[in-house]
Structure 1
Amino acid sequence: MGTWDVGPFDNDTAADWCGDLDDASPDTRQGFVRDALARAADTIDYLDARIADEAIAAAALVAAQHPDGEPAHPHYGPDEPVPDLTGLRALALQALDRVMTEPSELLELWDGPDGDPWQTTINRLRGTLTPRPPEEQLHLS
């Protein structure tokens, strides 16, 4: 596994997936992201690390469009414009939940204390994508 850090785009699979997203025609990019999320969210059996890495990158792109979201990685994220993905928040959360539920190869690979920063990254994405209760939104205004 070509992984160099714990971020959503810090592995070969996610970087390659972003390259494929860049190669997709502009009118198919939203579907490309949706498909990556759905592949992970819909996996009932063992979740392969490659599918999970792609789903995490896709979820990070959805989260990046949230006001509290972090931008995609400047070097390994997509270079081409990303369409409006805000309608995919619930699916992105489902995909991340599946990545963090056994049986999941990435969850196994990041098991133990060395995986704490990776789990923090996933939880931060989940926090960005999770809708806030209406009363909390009023306090932020």
Structure 2
Amino acid sequence: MGTWSGQPFRSDSASDWAYDLADASDWSVVRDALTEVIGQTDIDADDAAIAIAAAEVVAHGLDRPTQTDAYTESVGSFVQRVGRPDAELVAFALDALAAAGSAESELTELWQDEDPDEWLSANAALKQALDAGLPGHG
């Protein structure tokens, strides 16, 4: 599966995608990753993993990260460059997280064969961080 933990940036797909943040000057690379899965059915595992990582980038932008380690170093630099995400992007992140963890997601199916509790717990923590970043929820 190319994944070594349920955390957002602990997969090959998410780690590779993080390189895109190095050259990004605005939130568009994150928005694109999120909108790739919103409203989709039969979501590819790589797209889902990238969307979850993008949602984690939004959480970092809200100063509510759920993962801070060597895998997220590029995220901190990115957020310093582009600033805080707007409420619309936070809502996109929540929608993408829901889609990536839905029954239609190949990633959900793959985690059912691994340790679904670890993955579900990591996604729940990320959802909580994003929810807290919405106006009126923090």
TM-score (norm 1): 0.81
Q: Over alpha carbons, which structure has the higher Rg?
A: 1
Residue identity matched to 1:89:
V
Q: Percent identity?
A: 36
CA distance in 1, matches of 2:83, 2:51: 17
Number of aligned pairs? 131
Which structure carries more relative contact order (alpha carbon 8 Å, separation 6+)? 2
Residue identity matched to 1:34:
R
- Equivalent residue number for residue 16 of structure 1: 16
CA contact (8 A) 2:24 2:78 kept: no
- Equivalent residue number for residue 28 of structure 2: 31
How do 1:35-114 residues align onto structure 2 when only pairs under 5 Å count? 35-43=32-40, 45-67=41-63, 69-70=64-65, 72-79=67-74, 80-82=77-79, 83-87=82-86, 88-111=89-112, 114=115
Unaligned 5+ runs, structure 2:
none
The list of structure 1 runs, each at least 4 consecutive aligned residues, that deviate by more than 4 angstroms after superposition, is 131-134
* Cα deviation digits, residues 81-122 of structure 1 (max 9, x gap): 222352110000000111122211011011167210110100
RMSD: 2.3
* Cα deviation digits, residues 11-47 of structure 1 (max 9, x gap): 110000001221x342xx410000000001132x200
